[in-house]
C-alpha cells in the first residue's frame, strides 16, 4: 500500500473553473507519481471515456487567469494548455491508470471531492437558515418598533394633559 497524501495537499490542487471543481493534468500526474505526458497519453488512448463534462482543455485566458490566482506557480513554461479533470474525470482515470499508487491516490482524491461537496451543502444549508433568521428578525423589529412608537405616543399624550397652575394645598390650614 502506498503512503497517504495529506488531504490539504489534494485540496490545494482543486480549482474552480466555469463553476466546476477541477484538477489539472499536471497536478494529478504529480500525485500519481507519473509524468504529465504519460497521463495524457493514457487518456488519449481512452478518449471515449472522457466526455467534455469529465475533462476539457483550458483556453489561454483560462490558464492565465488560473496562474494569476496561484501565488507560487510550479508550472514552468508549458508548451501545451493543460487539461482539467472534473470529479467524474478523476473517477474515470482509475479505469485508465492501473498502477496500485494511482488507484490509492484516486481513492483519496475522490474522498476529498466528496468532503468538499459535503462542505458546500452544509454552507448552503447554513445560508438558508441565516436568511430565515434575518427574515424573522426584520418582522420582529417591525413589531417592536410599532410597540415603541405606541409607547411614545402615550407618553406624549400624558405630558400634554394640562396641569393646574396653582395647586391647592391639602391639609389643615393653620394661621400664624
Q: What is the pLDDT of residue 162?
A: 61
Q: Which helix (H) or strand (E) holds 155?
A: helix 100-160
Q: What is the pLDDT of residue 76?
A: 56
Cell of residue 62, nine digits: 483560462
* pLDDT score for 3: 62
pLDDT exceeding 70 applies to what percent of the chain? 86
* Cβ(113)–Cβ(90) below 8 Å: yes
**Domain 7-126 classification at class level:** alpha beta
What 8-state DSSP symbol labels residue 48? G
Write the CB contacts of 110 (distance below 8 Å, at least 6 apart in sequence): 87, 90, 91
**Global pTM value:** 0.58
pLDDT of 56 reads 93
Question: Given pLDDT bands bounded at 50, 70 and 90, which one contains residue 41?
Answer: very high
Q: What is the pLDDT of residue 98?
A: 72
Sign of CA dihedral 54, 72, 76, 95: negative
* Secondary structure element (H or E) that encloses residue 107, with its range: helix 100-160
- Cβ(90)–Cβ(110) below 8 Å: yes
pLDDT of residue 17: 87
55 or 146, which is more confident: 55
**Whose grid coordinates read 500500500?**
1
Encode pLDDT of 17-34 as tens digits: 888 889 899 998 988 888
DSSP designation for 47: G
Examine the pLDDT at 74 and tell me if it is beyond 70: no
Span 86-139, pLDDT tens digits: 988 888 887 787 777 777 777 788 888 888 878 877 777 777 888 888 888 788
Q: How many residues are present in the chain?
A: 176
- Give the three-class secondary structure for 13: coil
Is pLDDT above 70 for 75? no
Domain ranges for the chain:
7-126
Amino acid at each position: 500500500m502506498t503512503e497517504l497524501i495529506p488531504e490539504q495537499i489534494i485540496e490545494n490542487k482543486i480549482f474552480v473553473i466555469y463553476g466546476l471543481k477541477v484538477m489539472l493534468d499536471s497536478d494529478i500526474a504529480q500525485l500519481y507519481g507519473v509524468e504529465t505526458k504519460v497521463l495524457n497519453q493514457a487518456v488519449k488512448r481512452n478518449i471515449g471515456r472522457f466526455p467534455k463534462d469529465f475533462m476539457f482543455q483550458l483556453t489561454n485566458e483560462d490558464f492565465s487567469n488560473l496562474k494569476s490566482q496561484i501565488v507560487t506557480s510550479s508550472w514552468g513554461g508549458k508548451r501545451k494548455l493543460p487539461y482539467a479533470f472534473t470529479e467524474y474525470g478523476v473517477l474515470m482515470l482509475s479505469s485508465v491508470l492501473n498502477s496500485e499508487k494511482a488507484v490509492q491516490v484516486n481513492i483519496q482524491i475522490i474522498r476529498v471531492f466528496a468532503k468538499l461537496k459535503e462542505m458546500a451543502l452544509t454552507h448552503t444549508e447554513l445560508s438558508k437558515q441565516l436568511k430565515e433568521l434575518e427574515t424573522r428578525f426584520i418582522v420582529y423589529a417591525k413589531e417592536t418598533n410599532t410597540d415603541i412608537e405606541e409607547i411614545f405616543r402615550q407618553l406624549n399624550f400624558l405630558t400634554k394633559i394640562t396641569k393646574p397652575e396653582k395647586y391647592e394645598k391639602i391639609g389643615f390650614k393653620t394661621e400664624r
